[in-house]
Amino acid sequence: MIIFFDFDDVLFNRNKFISALAGELGLSLDEFLRDYNNYFKKKKKNYSLREHLKILGKFYQREKWDLFFKDLSKFVYPGTREALSALQRGKTGKMILLSRGDKDFQEKKIQGSGLRGFFEEVIIASDKISFLSSRNFKEEVIFINDKQEENKKIKKYFPEFKIAESLDDFKKLIKKI
């Protein structure tokens, strides 16, 4: 069995993280979200911290950001480490982290979350469907992802995949299998 885990909003509390990030950028949450919408979402671009800093007329201060990203474990949902650890111990399946977004930004978040070691592979793709289409799956696949729009597409292209919308949903699913 292969288990694909999404990162944001499945393992990692993205909203809580964004509030902290806004603060670190010297912005209110509203200001951050306004920038996010105007410069990234509306332009269909992945959020990039480096690009956002440029827009704000700020330099990327390596030391400051290294420190900020160093330990993001407080943004990991409670019970996540325990659940991943149990899956790993139980050899439930090949665990792959599949996240969509800006490579540098996602890498830093995943590294800082302390969850990287649970996964046999960590993939940051610009499009999940294209990535999945490039692989050949012979084994059973479970896909854990909170984005319903994406899940609809997955269901269409990979009708044999089982889909869970959260870690809890997934736990229920594996009990049934």
Residues that bind Mg ion (CB under 5 A): 6, 8-9, 146
Output 107 or 146, the one with its CB closest to Mg ion.
Answer: 146
Q: What are phi and psi of 138, to 5 degrees?
A: -100, -25
The distance of closest approach from Cβ of residue 128 to Mg ion in the complex, given in angstroms and rounded to an integer, is: 10
The distance of closest approach from Cβ of residue 14 to Mg ion in the complex, given in angstroms and rounded to an integer, is: 7
The distance of closest approach from Cβ of residue 151 to Mg ion in the complex, given in angstroms and rounded to an integer, is: 10
46 Cβ contact partners less than 8 Å away, ≥ 6 residues apart:
40, 100, 101, 102, 105, 126
Pick from 74, 87, 101: nearest CA to 8: 101
Output 56 or 161, the one with its CB closest to Mg ion.
Answer: 161
Output 7 or 91, the one with its CB closest to Mg ion.
Answer: 7
145: amino acid identity, one letter: N
